[in-house]
């Protein structure tokens, strides 16, 4: 194994907010880590697959060996690389590692509109987010499976109300029909870009708080 290439595989955090760090060689302007959470079976993996691969795999279990999916999109002329992380099945018995939440820029909290139970578990997920995620993380609530309207158990209004009370964005999607999936990720990307720019603006005025904000070295880069 090449010693030189190895050296780069440990990510060293320089400990300050990487403000206005723009690389000359990169192929993107922004890189964001997006993390999906929610009960098992609500369609998290399907959302990711639909968005990154344009596929809907019916009845497909977790993909073995796939850690996260990547998709680069262009928004208003800026290249945005989205790194989308799935739970790897650890949500099935409520055993997600805390480290999964670390350094996420955005969380997509997903429930199944045809499953009341998956909606009722949301507060519990929010508690996890509060505990382990960055306090400035952007959270979107997603009601998936709107193609199954006849089996809907959670009214849209209810979810909207809940999302608003928790100051989350809300969107209903169908991974199967590809409804709103693209919109979900692209809107999120827009929001993240805006926040990143705001952050860097703030940071350039006052000195950055160490360990504060989205400072994770390689994930954040603002132009």
Partner 1 sequence: MSTSYTQPPSHDEDSQFKMAADNLPTEFDVVILGTGLAESVIAAACSRVGQRVLHIDRRNYYAGNWASFTFNGLLAWIEDYKQEQPRDADSDGSWREKLEEGEEPLLLGALGTAISNLQVFRYASEEPEEEEVATPVATPTPEGPSTSVEEPLAQSQSAATEETDTGSEAPPTTDTQSEATPTEESESQSQDTPLESQTHEDPEQQVQREEPQEDQTTSNEGDSAPSEPTPPVETKKRKITYSKILKEGRRFNIDLVSKLLYSRGSLVDLLIKSNVSRYAEFKNVSRILTYRNGKVEQVPCSRADVFGSKQLTVVEKRMLMKFLTFCLDYEQHPEEYLDFTERSFWEFLQTKKLTENLQHFILHSIAMVKPGARTGDGLRATQHFLRSLGRYGNTPFLFPLYGMGEIPQCFCRMCAVFGGIYCLRHSVQCLVLDKESGRCKAVIDTCGQRISCSHFVVEEGYIREEQRRNVTYRQISRAVLITDRSLLPSESEQQVSLVTVPPQDGGPTVLVVELCSSSMTCMPGTHLVHLTCPSSGTAQEDLAPLVSRLFTEAPSAEEEEDKEEEGEVDSEKPTLLWAMYFNMRDSSAVDRSSYSLPSNVYPCPGPDPALGTDHAITLAEAVFQQLLPDEEFCPPAPNPEDIVYDGEGRQGEGAGFGEPVQPEREPEGESEGKEEQKAESEQDTEGAQMSVAVESPPPAPPAEE
Q: Does position 54 bind partner 1 by CB under 8 A?
A: yes
In angstroms, what is the C-alpha Rg of the chain? 18
Binding part of the chain for partner 1, among 49-57, 106-114, 142-150, 151-159 by CB under 8 A, reads 49-57
Q: Which residues contact 173 (CB under 8 A, 6 or more apart)?
A: 47, 142, 143, 144, 146, 179, 180, 181, 184
Compute the CA torsion angle 68, 73, 79, 81 (nearest 10 deg).
-10
- Told to check if 16 binds partner 1 by CB under 8 A, we report yes
Q: Does 57 bind partner 1 (CB under 8 A)?
A: no
Nearer to partner 1, 16 or 148 (CB): 16
Contact between 177 and partner 1 by CB under 8 A: the answer reads no
Which residues, numbered 65-124, are part of the site for partner 1 (CB under 8 A)?
65-76, 79, 81, 83, 88-90, 92-95, 97-100, 102-103, 117, 120-121, 123-124
Residue with tokens 């508690």: 127
Instruction: List the Cα angle 110/117/43 in 5-degree steps.
Output: 35
Q: Is 109 helix (H, G, I), strand (E, B) or coil?
A: strand
Nearest to 172 by CA among 7, 54, 43, 64: 43
* Closest distance to partner 1 from the beta carbon of 155 (Å): 19
Q: Which stretch binds partner 1 (CB under 8 A): 141-149, 152-160, 177-185, 197-205?
A: 177-185
By CB under 8 A, name the one of 56, 147, 153, 191 that touches partner 1.
Answer: 191
Contacts with partner 1 by CB under 8 A: the residue count is 87
Q: Which of 171, 107, 170 is nearest to 138 (CA)?
A: 107
**Token pair in block for residue 168:** 């989350």
**Which lies closer to partner 1 via its Cβ, residue 9 or residue 150?**
9
The interface with partner 1 within residues 136-165 (CB under 8 A) comprises: none
Rule CB under 8 A: choose which of 40, 148, 152, 153 binds partner 1.
Answer: 40
Q: What is the dihedral of CA 85, 89, 95, 101, to 10 degrees?
A: 0
């Amino acid at each position: 194994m090449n010693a030189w290439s190895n050296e780069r595989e440990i990510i060293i955090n320089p400990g300050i907010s990487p403000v206005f760090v723009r690389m000359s060689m990169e192929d993107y302007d922004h890189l964001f880590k997006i993390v999906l959470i929610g009960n098992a079976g609500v369609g998290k993996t399907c959302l990711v697959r639909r968005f990154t691969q344009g596929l809907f795999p019916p009845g497909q279990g977790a993909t073995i060996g796939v850690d996260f999916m990547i998709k680069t999109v262009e928004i208003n002329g800026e290249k945005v690389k989205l790194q989308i992380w799935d739970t790897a099945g650890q949500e099935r018995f409520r055993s997600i590692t805390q480290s999964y939440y670390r350094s996420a820029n955005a969380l997509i909290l997903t429930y199944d509109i045809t499953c009341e139970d998956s909606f009722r578990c949301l507060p519990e997920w929010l508690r996890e987010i509060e505990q382990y995620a960055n306090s400035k993380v952007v959270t979107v609530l997603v009601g998936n499976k709107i193609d199954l309207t006849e089996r809907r158990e959670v009214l849209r209004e209810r979810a909207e109300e809940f999302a608003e009370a928790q100051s989350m964005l809300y969107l209903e999607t169908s991974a199967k029909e590809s409804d709103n999936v693209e919109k979900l990720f692209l809107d999120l990307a827009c929001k993240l870009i805006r926040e990143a720019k705001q952050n860097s603006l703030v940071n350039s005025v006052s000195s950055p708080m160490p360990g504060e904000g989205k400072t994770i070295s390689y994930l954040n880069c603002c132009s």
